[in-house]
Copies of this chain bind each other. A is one copy, B any other.
Amino acid sequence: MVDLKCTADFCLIPMGTETASISKYIAEVQVLIRSSGLKYSMHSAGTTVEGPWDKVMELIGKAHELIHSLGVSRVQSDIRVGTRIDKVQSFTDKVDAVEKILKEKDEAAGKS
């Protein structure tokens, strides 16, 4: 069991589908994620999920199972997963930290 908190960003690709459009599969995965209770955010290149390692990885595994159950024989995901023990940081804090620095740089440059 791994209880470590993680942030995982995953991009799931159904393979051997009839067409190259996969939005209907991604929508099904979004419904699954929404029902998980974990904090998440979808963007154009994947979905970021935050929570205990086991829960997050189980969710991504269940997403694979779901796509298989819809008739897709092969599924590939790319997962970027990070853990840190020096401080508690939500994935939303990361963008805030960068944007704060950018704002300060702009102000210093007299842009604001």
Residues of B within 8 A of A98 (CB): 23, 26-27, 30, 42
Convert A1-27 into 0s and 1s, putting 1 for each residue whose CB lies closer than 8 angstroms to a CB of B.
Answer: 110101101010101111111111011
A: number of interface residues (CB 8 Å): 63
Residues of B within 8 A of A23 (CB): 94, 97-98, 101
Interface residues of A in 49-66 (CB under 8 A from B): 53-54, 57-58, 60-62, 64-65
> What DSSP secondary structure best describes chain A's contact surface?
mixed
Residues of B within 8 A of A7 (CB): 44-45
- A: which residues have CB within 8 A of B? 1-2, 4, 6-7, 9, 11, 13, 15-24, 26-27, 30-31, 41-46, 48, 53-54, 57-58, 60-62, 64-65, 68, 72-86, 91-92, 94-95, 97-98, 101-102, 105
For this complex, 24 residue pairs linking A to B, each with C-beta atoms less than 8 Å apart, are A2-B61, A4-B65, A9-B11, A11-B80, A13-B76, A15-B17, A20-B73, A20-B74, A23-B101, A30-B98, A30-B102, A31-B102, A41-B43, A41-B44, A43-B45, A44-B48, A44-B91, A54-B58, A54-B61, A57-B57, A57-B58, A74-B85, A74-B86, A79-B80
